[in-house]
Structures are given as C-alpha cells and as structure tokens.
Structure 1
Amino acid sequence: MAAADPPDRTSRSGLWLTLALAVLAGLLGSLNGLGRFDQILYDRTVSITGRSADPDILIVAIDDASIDALGRWPWRRAVHAALLERLREARAVGLDLIFGEADTANPHDDRILADSIRRNGRTVLPIVLDRLNRPSSISAPIPGLAQAAAAKGFINARVDSDGAVRAATLTADVAGERWNHLALSMLEVGGEAEQAQEFLKRAAPNGGMLIPYSGPTAHVRTVSYLSVLRGDVPPEALRGKYVLVGAWATGLGDAYPTPVSHDVSGMSGVEIIANLLQAARDDVAFQRPPAWWNGLFSALPVLLACLALWRLSPKRALLVCVALLAGILLAALLLLASGHFWFAPTAALLGVALCYPLWSWRSQEAALRYMDNELRRLQREYPPVLNEARAQAAGPSASLESRVGELRRALARVRNLRRFLADGLDGMPDATLVFDQDGRMRFRNQAAVMYFQRLGMRPPRVGRPAIHLLEKTISDPATRQRVAEALSGQGPAAGSSPWSADLELRDHAGRDLILKCSPIHTAEGNFAGTVATLTDISRIRQAERQREETLRFISHDMRAPQSSILALVEMKQEGGSREGPNETLDRIAALARRTLHLVDDFVHLTRAESMTISAVELDLGSLLQDAVDEFWASAQKRGIALDLRLPLPAAYIRGDQTLLMRALCNLIDNAIKYSPPQTRIECGIDEASGFWRVGIRDQGHGIAAKDLGRLFEPFSRVGIETRGDAGGAGLGLAFVRTVAERHGGSVEVSSEPGAGSVFTLRLPMAPEASAEKHRPHGLPAA
C-alpha cells in the first residue's frame, strides 16, 4: 500500500488545489469581481461596443454661445416658453431644467411658461428624488407648471464609488406612488409606452440597469438653444423628434465621468438621459447576471486551467493558461456586445493567473515527495542479495538536486541486476512470479500480468503475499496450503534446501495448470526467495479430452454399423438368414450409409471448428429457400408439410455459403427426422436488433427441459427413447452451433414435450448499404 501512497497524495493535493482555486474564483465572481479593476475593464469594453446615434433624438444644448447671446443664467422663463413654441412639432420634449420655485422677479413668466407647456402638450418636466435607494420624498416643479406638463420623471444620476455614472435607476416608489425615469416618461408621452414597459422588464428587481452608452461624449446629435430660438433650425429637423433641453455650457449644469468619456472631463446629464432614451428605443439593456452565473463564469476557466496543468506538459499548459486569459477577456466582450450581459472577468483572470505558479509549486513538492517515497520503496523492494547495499532516502529538507543525486546513485546500484531479471522474466512465455523469503511477490513478468487479467483479477502488485494470490488462483484448499509452504520455504525440506513444487492444478476459471516452484539462494547459500511458474496446459488437456471422445466415437458409433455388416455377411454365408438377398443388401447399404453419414458429420464438424471462414455477402432468404427445396421431397415422402413463411425479407449476411447451407439443412433434416407423419414444419426469417433470425418450427415430440442444456454438445443424443433413433451421432446440432458462433451468431431452442420444438439460428446483418431491406423473394418450388 505504501507504494501507491505518493501518487494518491499527489492526486489528492491536485484535487484540493483545483477546488480551492475554483471556489476562490467563484466566490470573488459571485461578489462581482474585484471592484475597481472590473470597473476599468467594463469601461473599456463599453467603449468598444458603441452604436450609431439615434437620428430621432435631439439635444437642444444651452451652450456657451447661447449664454453669450441671451445673457447670464438663469434666463427668464418666458424665453423657455418661446423655445417650446418652436418645438410644437416635436414628438416629445424633455426639459432637463429645475423649476422648483416661483419666479418672483417676473411673476407673469410662470403663467406664460405653463401656457406654452400646455399648448405643446408633449412636454415632460423633471423631478428630483431625495435619494435613489428607498426615496422618501421628491422635489417637483411648481404646481402650475407640474399641472401643465404631459408627464414628469426623475433625473437622479446613479453615481458609483469612483464618481462615474455606469448604471441608472429606471423606476422608484415614493410614498406608494410609482415614478419613472425622465427617459421612460418621454417614451410614454411620445406614444411608445409599450416599449417603455418592455424596457422596464429588463431592469433588475431594484429597477437598476447598466447604461448601454451608444458612443462617446457629443455622440448624440446636438443643436444650440440659440439657433432653435432664432428659427435657424427648420421645423422639418424638429418634427417627430425626441427633444431634450439641457445645460451644456462651461461651468453650467452637471457633468459626470462615464465609461465612454474617459478622454474628456465628463458627459452632461442631459446626454446621459439621451443615451438612456436611445437604449430604451433600441431595446438594449446591459445587465449584470445573477451572482451564481458570474461565479460559474469565473470558476469554469480555473477548472479548465487546472485540467490542462494536470494533463499537459508545462509548456503546453502555460500556453493554455495564456489562451484562457485572452479568452476570458474576449468572452466578456462578446457577452456584453451580443448577449448584453456583463460578466465581471477579474475573478476568473486572477484565478487563472494563480493556477500556473501554485500548480508549479505543488508539482515540485509532489516530485520531491515522490522521490523520497521511491527511495523508501527501493529499500523495501530490493532484497539483500549479492551483498548489495540498500538505497538511502534523502532527508525531508534536502533540495531537489540532492534528491536526484541520491536517486541516481541508488538506481545505479540495482540497475544491472534489475534489468537482467526483468528482461529475463518478460521473455519467458509462461506466467512467472518471484517471491522473497517472506512469501511476498517482488517481480512478475508480462505473461503473469496477462494471466491474472484473463482470470478477472487486477495484476498482482509488488509486495503482495503469495497466499493472497493463491486464494484467488487455486481452487483446491489443500493444494493452496501446500504451495504456500513451498513459496515460504516451510516445506518438508525447509532450511538449507527448501521444498520445490511440481504439480498439476486447476484455477478458478477452470484452466489446467502446471505449477513449478524453485528456490533462490544467495552467494552464501541462504534461502532468498522462490520462483514460481504457471504453465497453461488447458489446450493440451482439451485436446486429450477431444481425443478420448473421438476414440469413443470411433470405437462405438463407427464400429457398430461395421459389426452389423459383418454379422449379416456371415449369416448369409452360413445360410442362417431367412431374408432374401435384396433385403440383406438393403440392410448392408443402410448400415454403410449410416457409417458414411457419421464420417461426414465428424469431418464437417472438424472443418467448421478449424477452417478459415471466407466471408462473402449472402442472401439468407435464398439459402433457406434452397434448403427447403432440397428437403421438400423427403418431407412429402413422410407425409410432412414443409412450409416457407412468405414473403421472405432480403436478409443479407456475410459468411461462408457452404457452412451456412449445411447448418440450415441440418436443422431442417432434424425437424423432418423427429416429426411424426401428418405434421407441419414451418420455416421463416425475422429481424431482431441487428440480427436475422431463422426459425424452424416442428410439431414433433419435443425435448425435455433437462436435456436442453446439452443438446448442442458433440456426441450428445438426448430424448431418443421418446423420439425414436434416427441413426445420428449427435454431431449435427454441434455443427450448427459451431457455424453460428464462428459467424458471430448463436443457435437457440425452445421446446415443450408433446408440443414440438423451435430452433432459431441468429446471424448478424450485413451493412444495410449492400441491399434493400424487406425485398420479397419468389415462391418456393412446388
């Protein structure tokens, strides 16, 4: 067991390291990565995934030129009313301007602006929430303006910890009242309320979503407030447009850092609203997946990296890790651009980046530990023969180089002897095992490995006791004990000359073996171990049994007809026979034919067992039809109806025509021999899962259940007392079984005494491309 411990510990350490790295990456991924680093990667990715600006969205910017022409801010509200008169053909107008207090300097301006808003009919005014997370109050426009507006929407920006605006909140509940973002309110006023609701469904449960910016700052089409007010912008350019009015001038209004404005000071709030409006119209919403999705996305590359490090060489594993790092970034980009999901990649990048150095450290520790264990294993495996010194294991604090040097010296001491023994053992054709003086196995050749595999056992490992192998090999307990004593040197002549074994036994698989044991001695003559060889003589014993069966066949079945012939001739010569010459000759001819039939059956069985199969494509239906035609006259002579079930399928197989034809003839001949007159024999072919089944059904006496098991054995003639002796030797059905098995098939029988028997020959189908299935044959001969 100790020899298997280092690999087991190495595998366990690799498994634990893989699990630790995967869990770390999955945990960080479920917590949305590494924060700031993921934000940087997100910003760069969003910058790449831009879209064309929506031509139906227009920003009317309060820019520096407008300030210069109209005076310092704030302007009179009558000016805004005049602007709204110019925007009467717009689809919806969003005023990103706060009107939270009445104009005390020009009190009539509030009424003028309210009338203008009412006449426009599609103006949306902003409100401000006290906070985005669970707001409790709002700052709304003055009542006159709020009542005149077509809708209202909040304009709060959702700012991340670094001051950038990457996400937006689309809806919020304030004191039981539902408020939407200004962009969604504009969609509803513009007649796209259904689109706004669909867009809301893409938001997270808290109403938030990542803003899919269409481009950098100033990407949205913008015109000057002054140019619209003067009428420089033609009405056609404003008709049917979503118009946002907001501050753009230097030092005026709000400007926020965004993922697409890293090259400038920021993006104005009105343009952020325009980007959100376009996203809603395009139905594009960047979303963060559930935490477990992101954890899985982070853990999967780590598992792949560890698998590559486990299976590949260090160079190839390094290339795989580099490719995984690039693949993670590419996957994050493609998922955001195509699937609109942002998977935070830094957790996966960190996990893969840690894989290679940590795995290299683990591999080096495993290599050092493996060398230590191998040195200790050499101490256990190398017996003290030929006065060889034992290998010395390096200390736990020794370096890799010192361990390599010690291992090299230890191997040099045993290399020649071990190589000599290993080559000699592997070159032996018989299974050979070498045991030490304690009865533990130290060497086994390749033939021994193959023998135990055929026996259904794992190949014996070094250090296993002999008694363990013998319990799994030798079936007789007394023989096991006797051999165990021989292998341990405790036999009758233990001591200076241990007992040697040379005996025949049988293993659990029924193989006949000859076990020979010889002692090994050191140069001083001390007992050092035992060499045991297992020689398989099963074929020899089988040949002997076949020879005995053949001798019995020749001495009984072959001699009986000849003896009868001689007896008839002798009676005729002595004149003691009352039969006429024709009757005597008929008897002699019948006995001679029986002898020839026996010889033919024996020869055909022998050839079927040994000859090389010449596989050609055959139509089993044609063979069966020919066989039925051949025996039709014999069946009619005995008053038996021999029928062929039609139509026959095109049953194509591959095999030897002569052998298959004779097998079919044997089955039909047996059915005729053992069927009483005025009965019926039915022959047919069926298809069953890759095989063709030829069925021969008779109405004979049937076969007893106790005889079915040996029905296909050579020289087996069962149930003759009930069926009548038809003169066979039990070789016909043995021939059928041999032919079926050599063609990859089988033969089966089902029978009930008094009700007849069904013999079924199963043969594998030929490839379907060779012929059409189920093509009917013609009718058989009359």
Structure 2
Amino acid sequence: MPERRSYRHVRWGEWLLMTAAVLLVIVGLQHTSLLARADRLLQDALVRMLPRDVSQSPVVLVGIDDKSIATLGRWPWPRTLHAGLIERISAGEPAAIGLDLLLSESDSRQPENDHHLAQALQHSGKVVLPMMMQNMGGQAVAVQPLIGFAKQAAAIGHVHLPVDEDGVARQVYLREGQDPLWWNHFGVDLLRLGGHWPLDKALPGSPTVEPSTLDPVSRQVLAWQRSHPINIAFAGPPGSFQRYAYVDVLDGTVPPETFRGKLVLVGATATGIGDLYATPVTDAQRLMPGVEITANLVDALLQNLTLVQAPAWVNTLFNILPVLLALSALAFTSPLAGLLLCVGLMALMAMATVVSGLWLQVQLGPVAGALGLAMSYVLWSWRRMDAATRYLVAEYRHFQNSGLGLPLSSRRRSSRGDFLDRRIEALTSVTHQLRDLHRFVSDSLNGLPDATLVCDTDLHIALANAAAARHFNAHHEQDLSGRPLHRLTDDLVSREGLPHHLADHLRHATLEPGSLEALDRRGRDLLVKWAPSFSASGVHTGWILSLVDVTRMRTEQRQRDDAMHFLSHDMRSPQSAILTLVDLLRQDPEAMSPAQFQDRIERHARKALALSDDFINLVRAQSRDYELEAYNLNDLLSEAMDDAWEPSQAKRIKLEFVGPHDLKESLVDRELFARALANLVGNAIKYSPEGTRVRCGVQAQGTFWEVWIQDEGPGISREAQVHLFRPFYRVQQGIRTEGTGLGLPFVKTVAVRHGGQVTLTSDTGQGCRFALLLPQAGLDPVPADDPDNPGA
C-alpha cells in the first residue's frame, strides 16, 4: 500500500508539471507569430465561407482599366479627363464619389488642368479624396492632396492597406494619424458622405491606439498611430462588384443615371498602374486592385459585416480551456477514450471557430489549442506507457522472486527485440504462468469432493467447484458466480441454534476459521466450515466455505443409536416384564390366576414382536434396494383401505375415498409403499374417536402425486410435530400414547427413498392430514417445498 500511494503521488506530481508546461507553451505561442500564419489560413477559409450577392449593392466601380488606357493613351492622363468624369458621374446624382487617385502634386505642364479639376470637385460636392503617410527619414509625414483639391473635396480619408508577413492583405485600420490630425479610412468617409454612416455611429474594432510599422523594409516603428482594426469580409473573388470602364463613363456610353444613389469608387484596375494585392479570396493568377478592396470594405461596413480579431486574453482562454479539460480527463480515462476526447475537443474548437467567425464575426485562433491538445495526449500517453512499463517490470521481478509460478509452466524468455518487445515478452510469460496457476487452482478446487465456495467481502460467490454445482442443483459451477450467499444458503438451519443466517454470521464473525452443523430443507446434515482469505498485502478479501454432506454418517450414527436404544430399552422392556412375571409366579403361585398370567405374557410378547417387526421394516426401508415399478396409486390406496375395514368397523369409523378412480401412476416399491399406506390409514383409524370418518384420496401437486389421508382426531400440536418423524418418539397428548414410535419414521424413509416427501397438516383439535408426495411417472420432479411444514 505505501508503494501504491507513492506511485500515485508521483503520477499526480507529473501531471501537474506537465499541465503547467503545456499551458506555458500555449501562452508562449499565443504571444509569438509562430502560429499566426496557420491561424490566418484558417481565418481565410472562414472568410471564403462568407460569400454574398453584391449585384444589388450600392457600391460600383469605375475602373481605369486596360481598355481605357488603350483608348485614352498612356498614364497619367490630363486632369481635365478626371474633371469631365466627375462631372458626368455627378450629373447622375450619386450618393458619393470616391476618387482613389493621389493628387499630391500639381500638373507642371498644364496648371490650368488642376483648376478644372478643382472646379469639378467644388461643383460636385460629393467627392472623397485619398491621403497617405510616407516615411521621410524616420519621420511619418502625411501626404495630402494639393491645397486646391483638399479645399474643394467633401472629405479626405487614408487609403493605407497593411499587408501581413505572408503578403496577404486582410486587415485595415479605420482610423489613422498623429496628434492633432486624424483621418478616417477612405471607405468610412465615403459612407458618411453618402449618408450611410451617421457621424455619431461608433467605428467597429478596438479603439486602442497602437503604433504603425508601415515601412516594410526597415519595419521601423513610426510616430504614426492607428486604431479600430477590422478584417475585411470579402464578398468574393475579383470582379464581384459592378464595374464600368473609365472611358465608357467619360464618352457617355454609360449614362449618368446609372450612378443615381450609388457609392461610386474611381480607381486604377489596369495592369501596371495600380496596386494589386493578394487577399483571402484571390489566387496567384488573379490579384485584387486596391480600389476593389476598398469596395469590399465599404459594402461590408454597409452590411455590418465587421470581422474583428478576438482579444488576446479571450483567444488565450479559448485555447487553454479545452487543454485543461483534456488534461483533467486524461488523468482518469483510458488511452482510447483520451484519444477520442482530444480529437473531439479539436473538432469542437474548430466548430466554435466557425460559429464565432460566421455568426459572431469574431475571429479566433485555435491552432495553439489544437497543438496543445495533441501535445497533451502524446506527453501523457508517453508517461503512462513509461510508468506502465516500469510497473510491469517491477511486478514481473516480484512475481519471479515470490515463487508463485509453477515449475511446469516456466517458459524460456526471448532477449531479442527492443525495450518494449522484451517487456511484452516478459508480460506474456507471466500471463502464461498465471493462466497455468489459475488452471491449477481451478482443477484443485474442482477436485475437492465437498461443495466449496469462495466469496468476496460482500458475500457474493466468486468461485465454486463442481461439487458445489451438484449440491445446489446448478448445471455448471459458473452458474453460481455472482450469486449472493444468503440466497443459496437461506434454507440452512443451524443445529447450534444460531439466531441469524449463515451470511449474517459471517458478516459479524471474527477473521478466524470456524464451523457449525446445519440441516437444509432437503434434510441433509451438513458440516459448514469457513476460513477467511487474504490478499498478498494482508487485506481481507473474502471467505472460503466448505459444505460437507455428513448425512450418511449422521444417518448411520442415528441408526446405531436407534439400534442401541431399541436393544437396550424397547426390546428389553417387554422381555424384562415377562421375566418379572415368571419370578413373581414362582415366588407366589397364588398372586394371579393362570388366565391372567397368560394374558400378560401374551401382551408383552406381542409388543416385543411388534417392536421387532417395525424395527426390521424401518431398517429394510433404509437399506434395501428398491424394486420400482409403475403402479396406479388409486389402486394401492384402495387396497390399504380394504385391509383396514375390520378395525374401522370395530370403531364405527367410515372410510371414504375422495376423487375419481382414474389412472395415477408412479414408480414405487409395492411392498414398502403399501406398508407405508397401511401405517397411515391404521394410525388414522387407531387415533380417531368412534363414529368419525377417515377420508383418503390421490391428487396432482405439480409434477407429483399427493396421496393423502385425513382423520377427525384430536390433532397434534405444532411443537410435537417437530419431533414426530424421529424414531421411538410418541406424542404425549390425547390418546396418542401407544405404539412403537417407528411407524412414521418408516413412512418418511419410504417417501424420501422414492424421491418424494411426507407432509403433515394439523394442530390441536383439528385432526391430522398426512400426505405422501411421489413423482409422477415420466415427469421430472419439481416439488414446491413448504418451509412451514416440519415433516417435509
């Protein structure tokens, strides 16, 4: 036990250490970028699961595409073209126009063009212009449109698009700048200008301000700051939004009414003049222009689809909780259950990530948690295997040193293979030896001639031998396993007068061997022995019981006692009386008349003869081999009643046969059974008052025939019935004072030897009803024992 407690403490210590290590790894991974790419790939897959129909979206694109370049000439174009485009779009009364062109420098060759564009911006009043930040020698400088354009623009917003380490554009910051100047994102200003985003409506994303690292080369942290980050919920691959060619709008091919109430974005889409980005919904062959990314952002904000990253503490908790649950379960479950649990938790994390991304619009990173689950299972399985292997090695050595193995079952162990193979081979050897030992114990137990039971501490049968199966009428000893002891031995009656059941006696007994003599319902005399059993560590594990059937020995002993009693008392008494009479007559010839002398001599001689006949009949019934033949019990009972006709007439007793005289066959020894019936009918007549009646009959009782005789005599008390079938016992009440006391023991012996029993139903003043139960010919006897009947 101390070794087991020590092992348990070591195991829990290892569990706590491993739990702390795994959690530290998860927290460390959460604060590094090692798993960021894997989390992003999963989040990209979720973004691709959010496609939406934008055919009815108010967001439309006017692209500076390859067609327009081919028609209008090389880029850059004169700003008068931009002015004309804005005028045409404005004529259609759009909600807002986003001119995604950096206008930070003047047209040095044709300055008047800048004036035309400024006038177009002023006349429209619905144009949003972009600005950007540039790194000037480590300083963040806001590059805005020319002062003339800036004054005429309805709003100015930043168009920064950060790119992750893997080169994919996923995220934007809706607010950027540095004190005291801050700019909303270009798309937010477009929505506000178009009346789709009230000024008092808060921006999504975290308001926490963080520094910008917009310099992709130096990764230098600049004074430029940003807040409200969100991931863009892309509507689909490039080309999802309605797009018109710049030249088609300019020459009137696309009528201005097309843009009524629309949010119009004008930007470069042609190859080589605009920025193209990889996004979660693009592939290597087809990238997405920056102006279309802005269109996706605007439409997502319009639809309230704002994907935000879960806070760091939420993501850490999301990854830690399943690992803690798995580690707690792994300490108690089997390897297979632990594996299924870890896989199930991984699937549950994936489902939670999908649900959070699709419905809650919060993006989680489950990779660290999944890695923690895999690490937990691998580490704990390794520790379990290592601990189990070491334990098996120790137990194997202990088993070998304890001498428990059988010499005949020893096997040669192989020394080949790796460490685990050698341990498995050693365990296989021990298993074979244990099987041999179990077979040895089983054969030894079954070889015992007496019924033997092995019980646990709850007194349920753990093992039983073949003799026990025969004793309790079971088909196989395995049928007794698991059954409670008190169910098997509830019919035992202790001869020592113990006040409680055998099982209760064992439950309160001291842990020492003991024994008692008992009698069961079938009339068997049993010597019950028990001894406690203990484990190798000295713990009480149950009891070993042996039920020795001493019926034959007790019967022979009782027969010897009966014979001694018969010879020393019953046979001697009438002979002594005869000798006394002879001596009396010899001393005083006048003491009695010759007739009186003859009567007394005859009475004592007849009594001795009756005793001899009854004793001889009882011995014959007990010892001789029965010659069984099929007889009709109705005929045998009728013959017994006919033979008793004269004594019944002498007492004016009426003999009645009850029931039909049909065929009721049983296998009986005719001579002995007829004498048993004669005894019962004669006793009924002998002890019945004059003028009464004795009723007889045969009826079915389950698979038995019941031959019954009922009188109207004084009856027998229940106290006297307990001893009624003992040899030489005579009831000391009423008129039942004569007889040898061997008639009823003879009847019981005959009934039992025929596979049946004799019963008595009576009480003082109620008459007696004796019944012989005999198996019906051709049927297996299944009697219903009557525990209340002492004659059974």
TM-score (ref. length: structure 1): 0.51
Partner of 2:430: 407
Matching of residue 79 in structure 1 with residue 100 in structure 2: no
Q: Does 1:117 align with 2:121?
A: yes
Cα offset, 1:325, TM superposition:
3.9
The Cα of 1:532 is off from its aligned counterpart by 11
The corresponding residue for 2:154 is 150
Written as runs of structure 1 = structure 2, the 5 A alignment for 1:364-403 is 364-375=385-396, 378=399, 399-403=422-426
2:168 maps to 164
Per-residue Cα deviation, 1:363-401 (whole angstroms, up to 9, x for no partner): 322321231343466589x69999999999999967322
Task: Please give the alpha-carbon distance, in whole angstroms, between the structure 2 residues aligned to 1:182 and 1:407.
Answer: 78
1:8–1:379 CA distance, 2 compared to 1 (3 A): farther
User: Structure 2 matches for 1:265-284, cutoff 5 A?
Assistant: 265-284=286-305
| Residues 555-598 of structure 1 deviation map (CA, whole Å, 9 limit, x = unaligned) | xxxxxxxxxxxxxxxxxxxxxxxxxxxxxxxxxxxxxxxxxxxx
- Offset at residue 405 of structure 1 (A): 3.3
Q: CA deviation at 1:108?
A: 0.9
**Pairs within 5 Å for 1:71-220:** 71-88=73-90, 89-130=93-134, 136-194=140-198, 197-200=201-204, 205=209, 206-220=227-241
Provide the C-alpha distance between the structure 1 equivalents of 2:149 and 2:540, rounded to a whole number of angstroms: 109
Q: Distance in 2 between matches of 1:530 and 1:101?
A: 98
Alignment match, 2:66: 64
Tell me, in whole angstroms, the C-alpha distance in 1 between the residues paired with 2:326 and 2:95.
55
Q: CA deviation at 1:121?
A: 0.6
Paired positions, count: 462
Match of 1:227 in 2: 248
Q: 1:530 to 1:292 in 2, by over 3 A?
A: closer
* Aligned-residue identity in percent: 33
Residue 212 of structure 2: aligned partner:
none
Q: CA deviation at 1:518?
A: 8.8
The 2-side partners of 1:530 and 1:257 are apart by: 75
The structure-2 alpha-carbon separation of the partners of 1:299 and 1:386, relative to structure 1 and needing over 3 Å to count, comes to closer
1:49 maps to 2:50: yes
Q: Which SS does the other structure have where 1:136 is aligned?
A: strand
- Structure 1 CA distance, aligned partners of 2:438 and 2:343? 41
Pair 333,428 (structure 1): closer, same or farther in 2 beyond 3 Å: closer
Q: 1:430 to 1:212 in 2, by over 3 A?
A: closer
Q: Residue 601 of structure 1 aligns with which residue?
A: none
Question: Match for 1:427: what amino acid?
Answer: C
Question: Which residue of 2 is the match for residue 287 of structure 1?
Answer: 308
Provide the alpha-carbon RMSD of the alignment: 4.8
Q: What amino acid is the match of 2:45?
A: R
| Contact 1:301-1:324 within 8 A present in 2 as well | yes
Cα distance in 1 for residues equivalent to 2:309 and 2:541: 71
Alignment of 1:509-524 (within 5 A): none
Q: Residues 425 and 100 from structure 1, CA distance in 2 versus in 1: closer, same or farther, beyond 3 angstroms?
A: same
CA distance in structure 2 between the aligned counterparts of 1:351 and 1:237, rounded to whole angstroms: 55
What amino acid maps onto 2:132 in structure 1? Answer: V
Residue by residue over 1:500-527, the C-alpha shift from the partner in whole angstroms, topping out at 9 and shown as x without a partner, is 999xxxxxxxxxxxxx99999xxxxxxx
> SS state of the match for residue 282, structure 2?
coil
**CA–CA distance in structure 2, aligned partners of residues 201 and 413 of structure 1:** 73
Q: Report the equivalent of 1:427.
A: 455
What does residue range 471-510 of structure 1 map to in structure 2 within 5 Å? none
Report the equivalent of 1:298: 319
Name structure 2 gaps, 5 residues minimum: 210-226, 447-451, 461-480, 486-506, 516-528, 546-792
Q: Distance in 1 between matches of 2:124 and 2:541?
A: 109
Structure 2 distance, partners of 1:219, 1:331, is: 29
Instruction: State the AA in 2 paired with 1:405.
Output: T
C-alpha separation in 1, matches of 2:269 and 2:185: 20
1:28 Cα offset (Å) = 2.4
The 5 Å alignment of 1:443-462 reads none
TM-score, normalised to structure 2, is 0.50
Name the residue aligned to 1:259. 280
**1:299 CA drift (Å):** 2.8
- Residue deviations 1:645-696, cap 9 Å, x none? xxxxxxxxxxxxxxxxxxxxxxxxxxxxxxxxxxxxxxxxxxxxxxxxxxxx
Amino acid aligned to 2:126 = R
Do the aligned residues in 2 keep the contact of 1:375 with 1:391 (CA within 8 Å)? no
More moved, 15-24 vs 37-46: 15-24
Provide the residue aligned with 2:357 in structure 1: 336
Pick closer, same or farther for the CA change 1:117–1:531 going to 2, 3 Å.
closer
How far is the alpha carbon of 1:529 from its aligned partner?
Answer: 13
Contact conserved, 2:159 with 2:185, CA < 8 A, in 1?
yes
After TM superposition, give the deviation of residue 194 of structure 1 in Å.
Answer: 2.2
Give the secondary structure class of the aligned counterpart of 2:270.
Answer: coil
Q: CA offset at residue 106 of structure 1?
A: 0.7
Give the CA deviation at 1:115.
1.0
1:718-741 deviations in whole A, cap 9, x for unaligned?
A: xxxxxxxxxxxxxxxxxxxxxxxx
Q: Which protein is bigger by CA-based radius of gyration?
A: 2
Aligned residue number for residue 602 of structure 1: none
Letter in 1 for 2:94: A
Q: What amino acid does structure 1 have at the position aligned with 2:314? A: W
Letter of the structure 2 residue corresponding to residue 401 of structure 1: I
Displacement of 1:20: 3.8
Cα distance in 1, alignment partners of residues 541 and 78 from structure 2: 113
2:557 matched residue in structure 1: none
- 1:355: Cα distance to partner? 4.3
Q: In structure 1, list runs of 5 or more residues that go unmatched.
A: 433-445, 451-472, 475-482, 488-499, 503-515, 521-527, 536-782
Contact 1:135 1:173 (C-alpha < 8 Å) held by counterparts: no
* Local SS of the residue matching 2:190: helix
Rounded to whole Å, the distance in 1 between the matches of 2:540 and 2:24 is 53
Q: Deviations over 1:85-112 (max 9, x none)?
A: 1122111111111111111111111111
Contact 2:457 2:542 in 1 (8 A): no
C-alpha distance in 2 between matches for 1:385 and 1:42: 62
Structure-2 change in CA distance of 1:152 and 1:518 (3 Å): closer
Query: Which residue in the other structure is 2:3 paired with?
Result: 2
* Aligned residue runs from structure 1 range 445-594, under 5 A: none
Q: Give distance in 1, aligned partners of 2:456 and 2:84.
A: 109
